[in-house]
Chain A
Amino acid sequence: MALDSKVPKGPLKDKWTDYKNHIDLVNPANKRNIDVIVVGTGLAGGSASATLAELGYNVKAFAYQDSPRRAHSIAAQGGINAAKNYQGDGDSFYRLFYDTVKGGDYRSREANVYRLAQVSANIIDQCVAQGVPFARDYGGLLDNRSFGGVLVSRTFYAKGQTGQQLLLGAYSAMNRQIARGKIEMFNRHEMLDVVKVGGKARGIIARNLVTGEIERHSAHAVVIASGGYGNVYFLSTNAMGSNATAAWKIHKKGAYFANPCYTQIHPTCIPRSGDYQSKLTLMSESLRNDGRIWVPKSMDDVMAIREGRKKPTDLSEDERDYYLERRYPAFGNLVPRDVASRAAKERCDAGYGVNATGEAVYLDFKSAISRYGKEQAKLQHITNPSEAKVYELGQAIVEAKYGNLFQMYEKIVDENPYKTPMMIYPATHYTMGGVWVDYNLMTTVDGLYCIGEANFSDHGANRLGASALMQGLADGYFVLPYTIGDYLSNDIRTGKISTETPEFTAAENEVKERIDFFINNKGEHSVDYYHKKLGKIMWEKCGMARNEQGLKEAMAEIKALREDFWKNVTVPGDANEMNPELEKAGRVADFLELGELFAKDALNRNESCGGHFREESVELDGLQKGEAKRNDEEYAYVSAWEYKGEPADAVLHKEELEFNDIELKQRSYK
């Protein structure tokens, strides 16, 4: 099947408006006869559910947690972008669009990104109207901060808990619709397959995670909003339950999977400390606004610090290598995530890591504290303040900005980050790849949509900070509600979709067989045993940097691991009760397939771009020496994979990317 992105004709800035003016609408009275299933109630699914219900459709929403409010979106710390230009620093739709396309290393679809920039401003209005308590300045207006990869202040935030507040906003909008009976909420339910009737998505099979019952649910359209697949690495910043199952199951039923190898490694996470570790914790990137990143210049100091003979605070300014400021003078500590992550890896690989494992660099707030302290002293008319006073005043400002992050760090590491620099190291964070969708956010299966982190759409090969929340809410509040209407306008006479059809029976049987297999297979290894092994292969061979040989090995190793899993996995307990091990088994089984496709995609893409760094593809000389080398001639496409059984047999389809409004350039942050 040829890929049709369905991007409307006409000038970039008019596409979305024209599109909205010409789509078919569904009469409000008819919406009452149309059902929509939404899988996932994070920012994307939550905002979509609320809005579709508001419009009049009957929504059935599903989440594996006990409440929509606990979806992984809750954890987002830093903020959400919007081109409001409240700060008057030159922001505009075009600039947000430009930054996003450039930040994504020119591997995203122009029309989608422009639309995202256009609707971004509405998101803030919407959320404020819902009572989201964004940070305010003393004049009562909204405050902004800046994030990696851009030179304007366009990020709106609510302390370090922006995701929480935005999700609670969407959740409250959902609650209003649940109370009105327009959303039926299925908490503690997991979608285990999609059901297609006559080529169209017409329902799902779900497991009630409390009773174990397998349920059939039908609808006129199905929306997947199940989040990202970063947990394929086992260790990541994702919530423990985050998984790829919904996206992978629809892939197996015909939805193409795009750019699986684009994974974002986030530069500012708390380093790993031992083998028992279950997850990695992110320190928001907003910290890079005020923190300076460094490692010692001399190897002697590195050793002295590792052996505890010296403390980081013993080193003077000129004994420190502020390597980001050195290499990228224009952006300094605010370079995009892929650049910052690789630079940290480069220093640590060269031996300059500052903790016991050699995998940590410093993030230091000393100069920020003293800068803010001096400013405060002036504001408060304190003449000749003592150093201690300056420190105290400065610390209060830093605490107001990032207090909860500092507290979190101290809890985990048991060190006071106001007194001694934080240690950070990159970790798997966000997946730019996902289910392929067209301009309408529809997958390659009719009536099957995919939104939020689960789709591949707007971030190209790298995601700039504060853009995922923006995309999730844009999709859910403002894009999908229009595009799905255009599709559903053909369904006003269809009537209820029956669940008593052979298609539902077949899908249900498949799901049941798999569960029975797990319960009855008396193997010798736990599910986590396999998940950890998979994670290790992924991190070592498909991590921050990849090469041909490693990727080929990864494909073979993952396949072998998968075969062993299906022979030797053990799942205690029963199928007809709450059984967390059974839930995990299904998810890891899917990760074991996705991981191989990931490696295959990385192998195919013989260029470096964004979150995909091929060691064979680096700039050899000139100003950009040592930086990632993109190859637009051969690789300016989205790779969309069609399922053909074994992941190794997946067939590649290319969506060629066209750049009419932005010139393809070497990405430089120097």
Chain B
Amino acid sequence: MNLTLKIWRQKNASDKGKMVDYKISDISEHMSFLEMMDVLNEQIINLGDEPVAFDHDCREGICGMCSMYINGEAHGPDRGVTTCQLHMRSFKDGDTITIEPFRAAAFPVIKDLVVDRSSFERIQQSGGYISVNTSGNTQDANAIPISKEAADKAMDAATCIGCGACVATCKNSSAMLFVGAKVSQYALLPQGQVEATDRVLNMVAQMDAEGFGNCTNTGACEVECPKGISLENIARMNTEFLKASLKG
């Protein structure tokens, strides 16, 4: 395949940034999108220029590092995948592909396609954990039976990879799907219930403080989420929040 790429180049956080066009040829449909980016970067380096910086690590859809906004969609046109799992067979010979960073006020650009998602870290530090001592004197694991259904649902929520596609794709830059998934995992399990009230209040407060927008129930996040995190989790967070607010 021969392609034209329009890529956002921005030297650092204070640079203004602009779209730059690149031509690339001989792309195999079996390549992943990031392998195509590798080929492009090799080409740029051989011309003596600076390659495009982008975040990636596991390249198998689980670390949540890769974060590209491709043709106006977080992680590109394919459903239920991250950018590293997107394959070039989703594109056609002669296509023009626009590649931008995830854009949101709470995700400032660091360089080119790399953004700073540390706002997610701070939300989790505000309460996304169970306060248990880690030195190994806990009760036997089977002393806390958990119904298969609850365990499976908690697992579904816990599958979130913290990629931020939900934020990038939302017209309000809301982080509700991400935070909803975190809150849900703990809400569905018997462990850590004693601190459930503080947990949801603190996490929501931190989410607001980071400058994420509000949820207006558009549901774009669910559509773009590579891990199929469902809107149900936002509803559960809202219920938890309401319960907590009434108590608090």
A residues adjacent to B (C-beta < 8 A)? 47, 50-51, 54-55, 65-67, 69-70, 72, 74-75, 84, 86, 119, 122, 124-131, 133-142, 158-159, 161, 164-165, 168, 171-173, 175-176, 178-179, 185, 187, 210, 239-241, 273-274, 276-279, 281-282, 407-408, 411-412, 414, 477-478, 481, 526, 528, 570, 572-573, 577-581
Q: Is the CB of B59 within 8 A of A54?
A: no
Q: Is the CB of B140 within 8 A of A125?
A: yes
Q: A130-B191, A526-B42 are known contacts. Are A142 and B141 too (CB-CB below 8 A)?
A: yes
B residues adjacent to A (C-beta < 8 A)? 11-12, 28, 30-32, 34-35, 38-39, 42, 45-46, 48-51, 53, 55-65, 80-81, 85, 87, 89, 110-111, 114, 116-118, 120-121, 124-136, 138-142, 144-148, 151-152, 154-155, 158-159, 161-162, 185-186, 189, 191-192
Q: Is the CB of A140 within 8 A of B148?
A: yes
Report the minimum CB–CB distance from B152 to chain A (whole Å).
8
Instruction: Give the residue name and chain of the B residue nearest to A141 (CB).
Output: B142
Q: Is the CB of A276 within 8 A of B28?
A: yes
User: How many A-B residue contacts, CB cutoff 8 Å?
Assistant: 216
Q: Is the CB of B130 within 8 A of A278?
A: no
Residues of A within 8 A of B110 (CB): 210, 578
What separation, in Å, do the CA atoms of A578 and B54 have in the docked complex? 10
What separation, in Å, do the CA atoms of A669 and B144 have in the docked complex? 37
Q: Is the CB of A240 within 8 A of B39?
A: no
Q: Is the CB of B145 within 8 A of A139?
A: yes
Tell which of A72, A135, A407 touches B57, judged by Cβ atoms closer than 8 Å. Answer: A72
Instruction: Give the residue name and chain of the B residue nearest to A171 (CB).
Output: B124
Residues of B within 8 A of A135 (CB): 151, 155
What separation, in Å, do the CA atoms of A579 and B112 have in the docked complex? 11
Q: Is the CB of B140 within 8 A of A241?
A: no
What separation, in Å, do the CA atoms of A572 and B130 have in the docked complex? 45
Report the minimum CB–CB distance from B184 to chain A (whole Å).
11
Report the minimum CB–CB distance from B36 to chain A (whole Å).
8
> Can you list 15 pairs linking A and B with CB atoms under 8 Å apart?
A51-B135, A69-B64, A72-B57, A72-B63, A128-B144, A129-B191, A130-B130, A131-B129, A133-B152, A137-B148, A164-B159, A175-B129, A239-B57, A274-B31, A577-B12
Residues of A within 8 A of B64 (CB): 69-70
Q: A172-B130, A477-B135 are known contacts. Are A136 and B147 too (CB-CB below 8 A)?
A: yes
Q: Is the CB of B30 within 8 A of A273?
A: yes
What separation, in Å, do the CA atoms of A185 and B80 have in the docked complex? 31
Q: A274-B28, A570-B45 are known contacts. Are A131 and B186 too (CB-CB below 8 A)?
A: yes
Report the minimum CB–CB distance from A143 to chain B (whole Å).
8
Q: Is the CB of A133 within 8 A of B189?
A: yes
Q: Is the CB of A411 within 8 A of B85?
A: yes
Q: A130-B191, A131-B130, A175-B128 are known contacts. Are A70 and B63 too (CB-CB below 8 A)?
A: yes
Q: Is the CB of A239 within 8 A of B58?
A: yes
Instruction: Give the residue name and chain of the A residue nearest to B26 (CB).
Output: A276
Q: Is the CB of B38 within 8 A of A67?
A: no
Residues of A within 8 A of B58 (CB): 70, 72, 74-75, 239-240
Tell which of A133, A278, A580 touches B35, judged by Cβ atoms closer than 8 Å. Answer: A278
Q: A172-B128, A278-B35 are known contacts. Are A526 and B46 too (CB-CB below 8 A)?
A: yes
What separation, in Å, do the CA atoms of A47 and B133 have in the docked complex? 12
What separation, in Å, do the CA atoms of A239 and B34 have in the docked complex? 13
Q: Is the CB of B45 within 8 A of A126?
A: no
What separation, in Å, do the CA atoms of A407 and B159 have in the docked complex? 15
Q: A136-B151, A239-B58, A239-B59 are known contacts. Are A578 and B114 too (CB-CB below 8 A)?
A: yes
Extra pairs beyond A125-B141, A276-B35 (20, CB < 8 Å): A55-B135, A65-B57, A66-B55, A67-B118, A70-B65, A122-B136, A125-B136, A129-B141, A130-B130, A136-B145, A164-B158, A172-B128, A175-B129, A239-B59, A279-B60, A282-B60, A477-B135, A481-B135, A572-B51, A577-B11
Residues of A within 8 A of B155 (CB): 133, 135, 158-159, 161, 165
Secondary structure of the B contact surface, majority rule? loop
Residues of A within 8 A of B48 (CB): 572
**B31, B49, B110, B142, most chain A CB atoms within 10 A:** B142
Q: Is the CB of B135 within 8 A of A528?
A: no
Q: Is the CB of B132 within 8 A of A66?
A: no
Q: Is the CB of B159 within 8 A of A126?
A: no
Residues of B within 8 A of A136 (CB): 145-148, 151-152
Report the minimum CB–CB distance from B80 to chain A (whole Å).
8
Residues of A within 8 A of B132 (CB): 126, 129-130, 173
Residues of B within 8 A of A239 (CB): 57-59, 63
Q: Is the CB of A65 within 8 A of B63?
A: yes
Q: Is the CB of B53 within 8 A of A580?
A: yes
Q: Is the CB of B62 within 8 A of A240?
A: no
Q: Is the CB of B57 within 8 A of A70?
A: yes
Q: A136-B147, A140-B145, A278-B34 are known contacts. Are A54 and B57 too (CB-CB below 8 A)?
A: no
Tell which of A141, A277, A414 touches B145, judged by Cβ atoms closer than 8 Å. Answer: A141
Q: Is the CB of B151 within 8 A of A240?
A: no
What separation, in Å, do the CA atoms of A411 and B90 have in the docked complex? 11
Residues of B within 8 A of A168 (CB): 158
What separation, in Å, do the CA atoms of A47 and B135 have in the docked complex? 10
Q: Is the CB of B125 within 8 A of A175?
A: yes
Residues of B within 8 A of A282 (CB): 60
Instruction: Give the residue name and chain of the A residue nearest to B141 (CB).
Output: A128
Q: Is the CB of A129 within 8 A of B148?
A: no
Residues of B within 8 A of A408 (CB): 60-61, 85
Q: Is the CB of A179 within 8 A of B34?
A: no
Residues of A within 8 A of B135 (CB): 51, 54-55, 477-478, 481
Report the minimum CB–CB distance from A183 to chain B (whole Å).
10
Q: Is the CB of A133 within 8 A of B151?
A: yes
Instruction: Give the residue name and chain of the B residue nearest to A476 (CB).
Output: B134
Tell which of B46, B51, B130, B136 touches A581, judged by Cβ atoms closer than 8 Å. Answer: B51
The 10 A-B pairs with the shortest beta carbon distances in the complex, nearest first, are: A140-B145, A172-B129, A128-B141, A129-B138, A133-B155, A133-B154, A136-B151, A70-B63, A239-B57, A51-B134
Q: Is the CB of B50 within 8 A of A411?
A: no
Tell which of B46, B59, B133, B186 touches A278, judged by Cβ atoms closer than 8 Å. Answer: B59
Residues of A within 8 A of B120 (CB): 67
Instruction: Give the residue name and chain of the B residue nearest to A52 (CB).
Output: B134
Report the minimum CB–CB distance from B167 to chain A (whole Å).
15
Residues of A within 8 A of B147 (CB): 136, 140
Q: Is the CB of B142 within 8 A of A142?
A: yes
What separation, in Å, do the CA atoms of A668 and B32 have in the docked complex? 41
Q: Is the CB of B146 within 8 A of A131?
A: no
Q: A72-B57, A135-B151, A239-B63 are known contacts. Are A172 and B38 too (CB-CB below 8 A)?
A: no
